[in-house]
Chains A and B, each alone.
Chain A
């Protein structure tokens, strides 16, 4: 870990003022940033400790939504009674991720901004365009079992590792940020980005911007939902593929269904276009399969991760079934509902 200046601003305004500059990092829970610094993947010259800023509350929004403070720990968010009752999908997704200790330290803002878990990104002895632009992508043609099948580029095939963000994508969350140029609200779909020619950019934050909160619009996905995470062991592992589903069923037809995938792309993968295939349909394996094919359109394997395509296809169908039947996946009972 390199040497850095450490400051602890007393207000958001002060933090943002200090937050500009190439190698300046906001430090919240630290569960990703400190790790990256130990591996010399990230070498900030200034670390701004934002843990004391007043962004640690979950508040009601006008119109029935909730605002999750950027500094509320993941576990407090998952176990907040309002979140559990109104956004059980989000609780479930958070509890599917990491470990209790990590969820206690990791914050909501940090979860959004966590970086990929690609082997090459983390190992400074190897090439990685995300870490060292122009050095090449080690994972292409290398060890890529955990890598992207959708939206990758010839520069980078990393995935976004979050579970929480997959649920946020489905819930149409809005990321509240502040920065040198003032406040902005970024729809979650526009927050994370695909690697393209600039794989080092994980999201659309501008220099110096700070996430202050995440708004959850008022939605009623409390019955027909699920978060299904498929991984290499039954807990404490990143997703090979995860599927978040929120559905509204009226009578016997699907009035609305939203689906996002984790573990398959540089951002939570969602297609509102494909979701139209579900709208107005009866829940059935055929409908779900057709949707899975549409959502996975253009999926390509990198050899060692080819299996993710059929795994995702089957997982989507299963998750839709879980949601339609109101039998959401338990994160404790590892039998798949």
Chain B
């Protein structure tokens, strides 16, 4: 019997939400049509630290269409305890409370919200508000703050303290070959294309619906319930489409607080959308300095790793990242030590941005590794293989899988690494020096407790639902493919629902755990539906399946099929009719079980990548072009090769930005980010991006997560900037230890 090729896990299909996105019919948070809407416009602090002495609102209130100006002076009651403001991704400290009091903790802090009948009136009125300040001394200079770096007493959830081994200080002192230096990363802002916005619909019965730009509808739901005292049932948060976030939407941003505050106060529907400038008023990737010292013997075998890093945080919360652990995990070296500290500056709390910790710490470490390879006169790829650790070298535990060696092999082959000439400045074409560099990337393979539902109707339509988010990651498509795979239905007959706090529980989407977690939950829910279907089929007269058990059947083309006798097929509809069912709905939860937790203690779970970069640098002028990237990724099972490839492309492009472009400049006298726009905060444009080849290395791993999926959101960025920095060194002979490598650093 001829059947169409099954579409399921591993099939490269178009994004199921693609048509909505290319036709402009996908509605993002600030785009939901609501009757009688008020527009809120945020007024920000001009100073970095101090107090609001007075607010002159008269001119603003006189603008036709202006309804209210909300400040700390007239806001309605809100919760006051730190505990009430702590969100799903909370950071130890005292969370920022918008419009709470007269205190200013950072420049661009929201200090007033103007509400008007039109966006234009609100914007104009906001410009008329005059604020008098009392200023206090501030510091935004990270280098100054380093004098007071410290280890936070209370550690952030997910923080992994580094584990030392051997005697790194002595081994470094004794090493015949040494590299030591400070490596730096500039502050970066996420800058998703969609600006943070929230539309709050006031229903008039005490309930509200909030469309919010967030990576987790249920996290925002819990936050708003806690801060404003809404009963959970009176509150619904939706984020069906999210225009990128990259970590900036892990925690509720202040526009959702302000929009709900205004709606509650005025008993009206409200929309608040940040401006691009205001996108620099919250989350950013912390500035970092990493002191790395490496020792090796003359064969290129590492003998000592010393890795100490400090990242920036605010005065009010201790944001911590896993910066220093990666190098210790990845390399076989008997002596290693590390320390991690934070330093406070008067900015908002730094935040997770694509591969937090690793994008900083692994990338900078991989630049140092490259230096060590040159010092040892060993090919940089060979150096990584000489010091390859098949196990997690910091924890001494095996990995559930680690196909990094294969990634290096396949990547090097695709890149033609073997044709590289070893000496710096030895490859050129015309006026350009050519450089080839490589680096290793690493991230965690994570899995979080997630629930999903599956509902099959008699017409053969399946709906799967989960409160996860799709921030461009492809969650809709992943859920659809897993459901198609499990119940043997074509994707066209499946609808995936997500981005709604009313749906089965899911964590905020981030950390690359989304596909593994929601995929596993959808699979369980679909399997439960399958069992019900089989039971229903038992009611068919004559029992065509003959009392088969679940392990005796498979689901294919909308039929239950006997494995041993594939000609025996019962359409789902027949089974449901026989049992008099119009629909079957099941909900299931995928959670790391006791067995998994045991494994978790004894095995490490990580993704790896091998990145190869070619740069061309104008010898005289220092203009850099990244002409070729090959990224070979070992990330377990790939659900949809098409969207998976895009995830890696995106990480690589952001890595190119990290390598060459991205840096937020602060005027330390004003304590203010100055290039707070897309004109002067440079992200790569089309012209900057040439060939990028993505390879997924075969890495079957049934242990890591239920589907064998490791996740892809972060791994593309980790190490990419190092491969480029290393290529620039190979091209020019100039080692730049601070990112981004702008033209001035090459010319120096």
Q: Establish whether residues A230 and B621, one from each chain, have CB atoms under 8 Å apart when the complex forms.
A: yes
| Complex interface bits, B570-612 against A, C-beta within 8 A gives 1, otherwise 0 | 0000000000000000000000000000000000000000000
Complex CA–CA separation, A311 to B660 (angstroms): 17
Residues of B within 8 A of A40 (CB): 127
Q: Establish whether residues A117 and B679, one from each chain, have CB atoms under 8 Å apart when the complex forms.
A: yes
Contact of B675 among A1, A141, A143 (CB under 8 A): A143
In this complex, what residue of A is CB-closest to B742?
A232
| Complex interface bits, B367-403 against A, C-beta within 8 A gives 1, otherwise 0 | 0000000000000000000000000000000000000
Q: Establish whether residues B667 and A142, one from each chain, have CB atoms under 8 Å apart when the complex forms.
A: yes
| CB of A21 closer than 8 Å to a CB of B | no
Q: Establish whether residues A119 and B430, one from each chain, have CB atoms under 8 Å apart when the complex forms.
A: no
Complex CA–CA separation, A239 to B667 (angstroms): 22
In this complex, what residue of A is CB-closest to B121?
A3
Q: Establish whether residues A236 and B685, one from each chain, have CB atoms under 8 Å apart when the complex forms.
A: yes
CB distance from B696 to the nearest CB of A (A): 29
CB distance from B9 to the nearest CB of A (A): 39
Q: Establish whether residues B430 and A143, one from each chain, have CB atoms under 8 Å apart when the complex forms.
A: no
Q: Establish whether residues B682 and A237, one from each chain, have CB atoms under 8 Å apart when the complex forms.
A: yes
Q: Mark the stretch among A60-68, A120-128, A203-211 that contacts chain B.
A: A120-128
Contact of A126 among B120, B660, B672 (CB under 8 A): B672
Contact of B667 among A38, A126, A233 (CB under 8 A): A126
| CB of A6 closer than 8 Å to a CB of B | no
Complex CA–CA separation, A309 to B180 (angstroms): 31
* SS class, residues of chain A in contact with chain B: loop
Task: Say whether, besides A119-B674, A123-B674, A235 and B621 are in contact (CB < 8 Å).
Answer: no
| Complex interface bits, B685-713 against A, C-beta within 8 A gives 1, otherwise 0 | 11110000000000000000000000000
- Interface centre among B107, B660, B667, B747, by most chain A C-beta atoms within 10 angstroms, is B667
Q: Establish whether residues A334 and B667, one from each chain, have CB atoms under 8 Å apart when the complex forms.
A: no
Complex CA–CA separation, A3 to B107 (angstroms): 28
Q: Establish whether residues A234 and B688, one from each chain, have CB atoms under 8 Å apart when the complex forms.
A: yes
In this complex, what residue of B is CB-closest to A35?
B679
Which of A1-39 touch B at CB < 8 Å?
A: 1-3, 38
Q: Establish whether residues A235 and B672, one from each chain, have CB atoms under 8 Å apart when the complex forms.
A: no
Q: Establish whether residues A335 and B616, one from each chain, have CB atoms under 8 Å apart when the complex forms.
A: yes
Q: Establish whether residues B676 and A236, one from each chain, have CB atoms under 8 Å apart when the complex forms.
A: no
CB distance from B664 to the nearest CB of A (A): 10
CB distance from B193 to the nearest CB of A (A): 15
Residues of B within 8 A of A334 (CB): 623, 625, 687
| CB of B148 closer than 8 Å to a CB of A | no
Residues of A within 8 A of B676 (CB): 123
Q: Establish whether residues A143 and B674, one from each chain, have CB atoms under 8 Å apart when the complex forms.
A: yes
| CB of A81 closer than 8 Å to a CB of B | no
Q: Establish whether residues B667 and A232, one from each chain, have CB atoms under 8 Å apart when the complex forms.
A: no
| CB of B431 closer than 8 Å to a CB of A | yes
| CB of A238 closer than 8 Å to a CB of B | yes
B interface, size bucket:
35 or more
Complex CA–CA separation, A74 to B486 (angstroms): 57
Q: Establish whether residues A307 and B744, one from each chain, have CB atoms under 8 Å apart when the complex forms.
A: yes
| CB of B100 closer than 8 Å to a CB of A | no
| Complex interface bits, B420-450 against A, C-beta within 8 A gives 1, otherwise 0 | 0000000000111000000000000000000
Q: Establish whether residues A335 and B621, one from each chain, have CB atoms under 8 Å apart when the complex forms.
A: no
Complex CA–CA separation, A2 to B616 (angstroms): 48
Q: Establish whether residues B686 and A235, one from each chain, have CB atoms under 8 Å apart when the complex forms.
A: yes
Q: Establish whether residues B431 and A336, one from each chain, have CB atoms under 8 Å apart when the complex forms.
A: yes
Complex CA–CA separation, A232 to B685 (angstroms): 11
CB distance from B738 to the nearest CB of A (A): 14
Complex CA–CA separation, A143 to B140 (angstroms): 13
Complex CA–CA separation, A234 to B616 (angstroms): 13
CB distance from A34 to the nearest CB of B (A): 13
In this complex, what residue of A is CB-closest to B676?
A123
| CB of B147 closer than 8 Å to a CB of A | no
| Complex interface bits, B668-687 against A, C-beta within 8 A gives 1, otherwise 0 | 01101011110110101111
Task: Say whether, besides A119-B674, A138-B670, A143-B674, A230 and B679 are in contact (CB < 8 Å).
Answer: no
| CB of A248 closer than 8 Å to a CB of B | no
| CB of A310 closer than 8 Å to a CB of B | yes
Which of A202-254 touch B at CB < 8 Å?
A: 230, 232-238, 240
Residues of B within 8 A of A142 (CB): 667, 669-670, 674
In this complex, what residue of B is CB-closest to A317?
B620
Complex CA–CA separation, A126 to B108 (angstroms): 12
Complex CA–CA separation, A143 to B675 (angstroms): 9
Complex CA–CA separation, A2 to B669 (angstroms): 30
In this complex, what residue of B is CB-closest to A161?
B679
Task: Say whether, besides A142-B667, A233-B661, A310 and B625 are in contact (CB < 8 Å).
Answer: no
Q: Establish whether residues B124 and A233, one from each chain, have CB atoms under 8 Å apart when the complex forms.
A: no
| CB of A146 closer than 8 Å to a CB of B | yes
| CB of A263 closer than 8 Å to a CB of B | no
Task: Say whether, besides A142-B674, A314-B621, A232 and B743 are in contact (CB < 8 Å).
Answer: yes
CB distance from B201 to the nearest CB of A (A): 27
Contact of B743 among A122, A235, A240, A318 (CB under 8 A): A240
| CB of B141 closer than 8 Å to a CB of A | no
Task: Say whether, besides A3-B124, A40-B127, A233-B685, A119 and B675 are in contact (CB < 8 Å).
Answer: yes
Task: Say whether, besides A233-B685, A236-B687, A143 and B665 are in contact (CB < 8 Å).
Answer: yes
CB distance from B691 to the nearest CB of A (A): 14
Residues of A within 8 A of B679 (CB): 117, 237-238
Task: Say whether, besides A143-B667, A230-B623, A310 and B747 are in contact (CB < 8 Å).
Answer: yes
CB distance from B670 to the nearest CB of A (A): 6
Task: Say whether, besides A230-B621, A336-B431, A235 and B687 are in contact (CB < 8 Å).
Answer: yes
CB distance from B254 to the nearest CB of A (A): 18
| CB of A315 closer than 8 Å to a CB of B | yes
| CB of B618 closer than 8 Å to a CB of A | yes
Complex CA–CA separation, A307 to B621 (angstroms): 11
Q: Establish whether residues B621 and A318, one from each chain, have CB atoms under 8 Å apart when the complex forms.
A: yes
Which of B475-494 touch A at CB < 8 Å?
A: none
Residues of B within 8 A of A146 (CB): 680
Complex CA–CA separation, A125 to B674 (angstroms): 10
| CB of B649 closer than 8 Å to a CB of A | no
| CB of B46 closer than 8 Å to a CB of A | yes
| CB of A201 closer than 8 Å to a CB of B | no
- Interface centre among B625, B672, B674, B677, by most chain A C-beta atoms within 10 angstroms, is B674
Complex CA–CA separation, A232 to B661 (angstroms): 7
Residues of A within 8 A of B680 (CB): 117, 119, 146
Q: Establish whether residues A234 and B685, one from each chain, have CB atoms under 8 Å apart when the complex forms.
A: yes
Residues of B within 8 A of A237 (CB): 679, 682
CB distance from A301 to the nearest CB of B (A): 11
Residues of A within 8 A of B84 (CB): none
| CB of A279 closer than 8 Å to a CB of B | no
CB distance from B49 to the nearest CB of A (A): 14
| CB of B666 closer than 8 Å to a CB of A | yes
Residues of B within 8 A of A230 (CB): 621, 623, 743
In this complex, what residue of A is CB-closest to B689?
A234
In this complex, what residue of A is CB-closest to B668?
A142
| CB of B306 closer than 8 Å to a CB of A | no
Complex CA–CA separation, A141 to B127 (angstroms): 27
Contact of A234 among B277, B621, B625, B677 (CB under 8 A): B625
Residues of B within 8 A of A3 (CB): 124
In this complex, what residue of B is CB-closest to A228?
B621
In this complex, what residue of A is CB-closest to B656?
A233
In this complex, what residue of B is CB-closest to A240?
B743
Complex CA–CA separation, A195 to B480 (angstroms): 62
- Interface centre among A40, A125, A233, A315, by most chain B C-beta atoms within 10 angstroms, is A233
Lowest 6 A-B CB distances belong to which pairs? A307-B744, A235-B687, A125-B46, A119-B674, A234-B687, A143-B674
Question: Could you list 15 examples of A-B contacts with CB < 8 Å?
Answer: A1-B123, A119-B665, A119-B675, A120-B674, A123-B277, A123-B676, A126-B46, A142-B674, A232-B742, A233-B685, A234-B685, A234-B687, A238-B679, A311-B621, A334-B625
Binding site for B on A (CB under 8 A): 1-3, 38, 40, 117, 119-120, 122-123, 125-126, 138, 141-143, 145-146, 230, 232-238, 240, 307, 310-311, 314-315, 317-318, 334-337
Given A125-B44, A234-B625, A307-B744, 7 extra CB contacts under 8 A: A126-B670, A143-B674, A234-B688, A237-B679, A310-B747, A335-B431, A336-B621
